[in-house]
Structure 1
Amino acid sequence: MEFSYSDDSGNGSMGFDFSDDDNKDYFIEIVTLLIELIGVIGNSLVIFIILYYKKMHNVPNYLILSVAIGDLLVLMFSMPFTIMSLGFDNASGNEVGCKLTNFVLILSQGVSALSFTALSADRYFAINMAVAPMRDYAKRVTYFSIIVSWTTSICFALPVLWFSRVFQIPYTDQLFCSFQPQVKWQHATLVYQTCRFVFLYALPVIIISILYTLVAMELFRSIREMPTEATKATSKSTSSKNQAQARKRLAITVLVLAVMYTICWLPYMFKEVAVELFPTKINFKAGYKNVSFIMLYLSSCINPIALVAMSRNYRKYFLWLLFCGKVREKVKKPTSYTGMYNSVTTKPIVVNNCAETVLDEP
């Protein structure tokens, strides 16, 4: 992994490569600064909204909170070092920054992958198994999942923290940060990268795909059965339909977050595995390296954007906080209904004289 300029021999390293065009660093600096700004603001608001508003205290949001914290760590401790490396050639010579940057990035990858897997499992049990998400045992399982995801991610990130070092390109004054174990440990690099690819990328993607296939089948089955219910009890059918729609929206939101993680990390993971398997046959161009690196950081700022775009609750709170309470929502009459999976209540609340309608689902 590399977080500065790289020479052509650094196929297995992760970082920007400006060997083709020295002017590209200005464009990438601007892009990374925008990612930094949007990501810090977005993830900070997500964390604040989930912690501050009690209506956002539910199982899916706890897992989203875990992802947001991991992304914020990347934006606060990894990206600044990268941006400095772009502007100042000698910034990559900071050994502490080198180790911390690589450590936090791998930590965030693990937290995101495992949290999205847990989110998908939560949606599966809530929709297919009719498990109410706010029961005590469900919350305990969620807390356990968060602890496991962070512990596992730390274990995967520790080798990077230990073996990341600052190197100097031969015959130049250029320094770069890279994950390169000592000679006696180099045989374990392939094993490490393979395990990381399997457990922090491939396996979570496979599990998420299977769970969402089952969720989709259940949702389609529920939709087909609704007309029959309507002939028996119109009010019950309406509440069931509303509940199913809320479940569907949340399931789609979680799926979008997982898909974005998969897409953003795919170029980088492909490069890492390909270089380890075929070190002498593959030579990635500078453009591919730079795009893979930008997409990797983009994964840390894109989740808040997706939440605002797809979740009405997040959108309301985001607008309210960003515009200092000037965005007001029309107060609706409180309604309560029991859906096919658990009870959901919609009622108006007042936040600093600004009325909003909040659903128990994010």
Structure 2
Amino acid sequence: MNPEGCLLLDLEADFALTSSCLNQSSNHSSDDWFYPGVTYAIVPVYGIIILIGLIGNITLIKIFCTVKSMRNVPNLFISSLALGDLLLLVTCAPVDASRFLADKWLFGRVGCKLIPFIQLTSVGVSVFTLTALAADRYTAIVRPMDIQANNALTKICIKAALIWILSMTLAIPEAVFSDMHPFYDKEINVTFVSCAPYPHSNGLHPRIHSTTSFLIFYVIPLSIISVYYYFIAKNLMRSASNMPVEGNVHVRRQIESRKRLAKTVLVFVGLFAFCWLPIHIIYLYRSYHYSEVDTSVLHYISSICARVLAFTNSCVNPFALYLLSKSFRKQFNNQLFCCRPRLIVRTQSMGRSTTRMTSLKSTNHSMASFSLINGKHICHEGCV
């Protein structure tokens, strides 16, 4: 297959075939060593991302499910975010890694419909949950009187469920139109089959698909989050300037707590924006240069980096939370080093026992000393 055989492909389908084209193209004969080397290097990277993501997200979900003190509104949203990341790492990341090992789609027609659906659902859960978290922080900081204490967790569970339903609904077209579409290479007169998310009749389909995805799953949610954080920052600055130097300690602590939580959500949003922007840009570039194919090493490497960065976003949130939250860090350490607290408690218990025995011996010695000289009514130092 030559490079011209890679034309009518979307972001997902064309990557495997483009790399195959690059390997088989006569124009890149001098770089034959390069592409297999990248393949052998990148597969372990995917493995590390999946392993770290599984450890971090499973531990995070376990903490929020088992530790009652950690069950609050923001943490419930964060656990929903972790579940979406976990789904992406378990299903889509291994499939994406397999593209480096095979020149064709390995998962059949069912996989062709299911994998893009899961991936888009996970992306939707991530960005819409971050939007809901920003809205929650806005309500808590700017409009605290609107918070309703009654059945708060139940309502948040319903909101989290609605986010999943919305994300799956938006991903339905991906499942409907993704199929094993045939592609014809005129130059070598060969028809090949590849998984793609829409029928490729002309260049309009990929442009609509890439632009719509960029707007719905990136630009619009991040714009809404930016508006929320503008008002949050404005309110926090006003509160800080209006508070007297020796203000209420409780109020100060409450404001600091809100600042920390708002900062955590902002870090999550920043990580998402940073990790997913490159892959959106590359998809837009490809869809608007539909009649061309870029077989340069730079484009190939940038595509790999963009894909790896997108999957990396699914494993960094637990560790960002670990650095930003003392309470979560404590629970995370307890979960990962479950034997360590028992050893500490055991050591402390043994220490207390030793202290009691030493004290008892000292007391008995003092009492004995006192009885020996009781007739003279003398008590040495340390005698009780």
TM range (shorter): 0.7 to 0.9
Asked if 1:200 corresponds to 2:217, the answer is yes
Q: Please show how residues 1-362 of structure 1 align to structure 2 within 5 Å.
A: 8-9=6-7, 12-14=10-12, 15=15, 18=19, 19=22, 21-89=35-103, 92-131=106-145, 135-136=149-150, 138-139=152-153, 141-166=155-180, 176-181=194-199, 183=201, 189-228=206-245, 230=246, 237-280=248-291, 283=294, 285-327=299-341
| Offset of residue 259 of structure 1 | 1.0
8 Å Cα contact 1:165/1:177 also seen in 2: yes
8 Å Cα contact 1:260/1:299 also seen in 2: yes
Q: Which amino acid in 1 is paired with 2:125? A: V
> Structure 1 residues 109, 7: CA separation in 2 closer, same or farther (over 3 Å shift)?
farther
Q: TM-score, normalised by structure 1?
A: 0.78
Post-superposition CA distance 1:163-211 (Å, at most 9, x none): 2234677568987533233649x85554444333222211110011111
Where is the helix percentage greater, Structure 1 or Structure 2? 2
| Offset of residue 143 of structure 1 | 3.1
8 Å Cα contact 1:156/1:196 also seen in 2: no
Q: TM-score, normalised by structure 2?
A: 0.74
Alignment RMSD, CA only?
A: 3.1
Q: Which amino acid in 1 is paired with 2:260? A: R
| Offset of residue 156 of structure 1 | 1.9
Gap runs ≥5 in structure 1: 332-352, 354-362
| Offset of residue 132 of structure 1 | 7.4
Whole-angstrom distance in 1 between the partners of 2:41 and 2:4:
17
Moved more, 239-248 or 103-112: 239-248
Q: Which amino acid in 1 is paired with 2:253? A: N
Name the SS for the 2:169 alignment partner.
helix
Number of aligned residue pairs: give it. Answer: 320
> Structure 1 residues 319, 10: CA separation in 2 closer, same or farther (over 3 Å shift)?
farther
Identity %: 31
Whole-angstrom distance in 1 between the partners of 2:192 and 2:307:
20
> Structure 1 residues 7, 139: CA separation in 2 closer, same or farther (over 3 Å shift)?
farther
Whole-angstrom distance in 2 between the partners of 1:183 and 1:295:
31
Name the SS for the 1:286 alignment partner.
helix
Q: Which amino acid in 1 is paired with 2:74? A: P
> Structure 1 residues 263, 26: CA separation in 2 closer, same or farther (over 3 Å shift)?
same
Moved more, 250-259 or 61-70: 61-70
| Offset of residue 306 of structure 1 | 0.9
Whole-angstrom distance in 1 between the partners of 2:263 and 2:200:
45
Name the SS for the 1:222 alignment partner.
helix
Q: Which amino acid in 2 is paired with 1:12? A: D
| Offset of residue 66 of structure 1 | 1.2
| Offset of residue 288 of structure 1 | 1.6
Where is the strand percentage greater, Structure 1 or Structure 2? 1
| Offset of residue 93 of structure 1 | 4.9
Whole-angstrom distance in 2 between the partners of 1:213 and 1:282:
41
> Structure 1 residues 243, 99: CA separation in 2 closer, same or farther (over 3 Å shift)?
same
| Offset of residue 153 of structure 1 | 1.0
Moved more, 105-114 or 82-91: 82-91
8 Å Cα contact 1:36/1:79 also seen in 2: yes
> Structure 1 residues 89, 43: CA separation in 2 closer, same or farther (over 3 Å shift)?
same
Whole-angstrom distance in 2 between the partners of 1:74 and 1:130:
35
| Offset of residue 287 of structure 1 | 1.3
Name the SS for the 1:177 alignment partner.
strand
Post-superposition CA distance 1:308-358 (Å, at most 9, x none): 111112211111111114159x99xxxxxxxxxxxxxxxxxxxxx9xxxxx
Q: Over alpha carbons, which structure has the higher Rg? A: 2
8 Å Cα contact 2:121/2:168 also seen in 1: yes
Post-superposition CA distance 1:75-109 (Å, at most 9, x none): 11112222334334556353333332211110010
Gap runs ≥5 in structure 2: 23-30, 350-384
